[in-house]
Structure 1
Amino acid sequence: MSSPALPAGAEPAPRDPHYKWVALSNTTLGMLAAAVNGSILLISLPAIFRGIHLKPLEPSNVNILLWSIMGYMVATSVLVVTFGRLGDSLGRARIYNLGFLIFTISAVALSLMPGDGAFAAWYLIAVRIIQGVGGAMLMANSTAILTDAFPAEQRGLALGINTIAAIGGSFIGLLIGGLLADIDWRLVFWINVPFGVVGTAWAYWKLKDRTAPRRRPVDWAGNITFGIGLILVLIGITEGIQPYGSHAMAWTSPEVVTLLVTGFALLVAFLVIESRVAYPMFDLTLFRIRPFSAGNLASLLAAIGRGGLQFMLIIWLQGIWLPLHGYSFEETPLWAGIFMLPLTLGFLVATPVSGWLSDRHGARPFAVAGMLIGAASFAALMLLPPDFPYSLFALFLFLNGLGSGLFIAPNSTAIMNSVPPAERGQAAGMRATTLNAGQVLSIGIFFSLMILGLTESLPSAMHAALVAKDVPDAVATQAASAPAVASLFAAFLGYNPMGELIPAATLAGLPAAAEITGKTFFPHLIAEPFMHGLVFAFTFSMILNLLAAAFSYLAGGKFVHEQAVPMHVHGRVPRPEPAGEIPAVE
Structure 2
Amino acid sequence: MNQTAKPWPALWALVTGFFMILVDSTIVSIANPAILDDLQTDITAVLWVTSAYLLAYAVPLLITGRLGDRFGPKRIYLIGLVVFTLASVLCGFSGSIGVLIAARALQGFGAALMTPQTMAVITRIFPPNQRGAAMGLWGAVAGVAMLVGPILGGVLVDGLGWEWIFFVNVPVGVVAFVAAWRLVPKLETHAHRFDWLGVVLSGVGMFLVVFGIQEGETYDWGTIAGPITVWGLIITGIVVLAGFVVWQRLSRAEPLLPLGLFRDRNFSLSNVAITLVGLSITAMPLPLAFYYQIARGLDPTQAALMLLPMAVISGAMSPFIGKLSDRIDPKWVAFMGFSIVAIALAWTALWLTPDMEFWMLLLPNALLGVGITGVFAPLGSSATRNLPRAQAGAGSGVYNMTRQIGSVLGSAAITALLNARLAAELPGFGDGAGGLGGEAGAGGLPPQFVDGFATAMSQSLWLSVVGFAVGAAVVLFFAKPRVTVAWGGPQPTGAPAADRPPVTAAEQ
TM-score, scaled to structure 2: 0.90
User: Is 1:259 aligned with 2:225?
Assistant: no
Q: Which residue of 2 aligns with 1:341?
A: 308
> SS in structure 2 opposite 1:275?
helix
Alpha-carbon distance, 1:414 to partner: 1.1
Q: Which residue of 1 aligns with 2:295?
A: 320
Alpha-carbon distance, 1:384 to partner: 1.3
Alpha-carbon distance, 1:558 to partner: 2.7
> SS in structure 1 opposite 2:221?
coil
Q: Which residue of 1 aligns with 2:92?
A: 111
Aligned-pair identity in percent equals: 27
Instruction: Return 201-210 or 389-398, whichever deviates more.
Output: 201-210
Measured against aligned partners, the alpha-carbon deviations of 1:259-288 in whole angstroms (never above 9, x if no partner) come to: 111111111111111111221111111111
Alpha-carbon distance, 1:299 to partner: 1.1
Matching residue within 427, 434, 439 for 1:496: 439
Q: Which residue of 1 aligns with 2:334?
A: 367
Aligned counterparts of 2:16 and 2:483: Cα–Cα separation in 1: 27
Matching residue within 182, 189, 195 for 2:172: 195
Alpha-carbon distance, 1:251 to partner: 5.2
Q: Which residue of 1 aligns with 2:5?
A: 17
Aligned counterparts of 1:294 and 1:155: Cα–Cα separation in 2: 18
CA contact (8 A) 1:48 1:181 kept: no
User: Is 1:351 aligned with 2:318?
Assistant: yes
User: Is 1:268 aligned with 2:216?
Assistant: no
CA contact (8 A) 2:77 2:117 kept: yes
Measured against aligned partners, the alpha-carbon deviations of 1:104-135 in whole angstroms (never above 9, x if no partner) come to: 1111222222x3xxxx1121111111111111
Q: Which residue of 2 aligns with 1:423?
A: 391
Alpha-carbon distance, 1:349 to partner: 3.3
Aligned counterparts of 2:410 and 2:364: Cα–Cα separation in 1: 20
CA contact (8 A) 1:420 1:562 kept: no
Alpha-carbon distance, 1:213 to partner: 1.7
TM-score, scaled to structure 1: 0.79
Aligned counterparts of 2:336 and 2:486: Cα–Cα separation in 1: 26
Larger radius of gyration: 1
Matching residue within 116, 121, 132 for 1:156: 132
User: Is 1:556 aligned with 2:479?
Assistant: yes
Letter in 2 for 1:551: V
Letter in 1 for 2:388: P
Mark the runs of 5 or more structure 1 residues left unpaired by the alignment: 1-11, 55-60, 463-481, 499-517, 565-572
Task: Check 1:522–1:423 CA distance in 2 against 1; reply closer, same or farther (3 A cut).
Answer: farther
User: Is 1:386 aligned with 2:353?
Assistant: yes
Task: Check 1:547–1:521 CA distance in 2 against 1; reply closer, same or farther (3 A cut).
Answer: closer
> SS in structure 1 opposite 2:257?
coil
CA contact (8 A) 2:36 2:43 kept: no
Mark the runs of 5 or more structure 2 residues left unpaired by the alignment: 488-492
1:104-253 to 2 correspondence within 5 Å? 104-113=85-94, 115=95, 120-185=96-161, 186-210=163-187, 212-242=188-218, 244=219, 249-250=220-221
1:451-470 to 2 correspondence within 5 Å? 451-460=419-428, 462=429
Measured against aligned partners, the alpha-carbon deviations of 1:224-243 in whole angstroms (never above 9, x if no partner) come to: 1111111111111222122x
Aligned counterparts of 1:454 and 1:525: Cα–Cα separation in 2: 10
CA contact (8 A) 1:574 1:581 kept: no
Alpha-carbon distance, 1:454 to partner: 1.4
Matching residue within 72, 76, 89 for 1:91: 72
Q: Which residue of 2 aligns with 1:510?
A: none
Alpha-carbon distance, 1:560 to partner: 5.3
Task: Check 1:523–1:427 CA distance in 2 against 1; reply closer, same or farther (3 A cut).
Answer: farther
Measured against aligned partners, the alpha-carbon deviations of 1:133-184 in whole angstroms (never above 9, x if no partner) come to: 1111111111111222223232211221122222311211111111111122
Alpha-carbon distance, 1:300 to partner: 0.8
Q: Which residue of 1 aligns with 2:432?
A: 484
User: Is 1:395 aligned with 2:363?
Assistant: yes
Measured against aligned partners, the alpha-carbon deviations of 1:482-540 in whole angstroms (never above 9, x if no partner) come to: 5324235x4xxxx5358xxxxxxxxxxxxxxxxxxx844346515414523642x3333
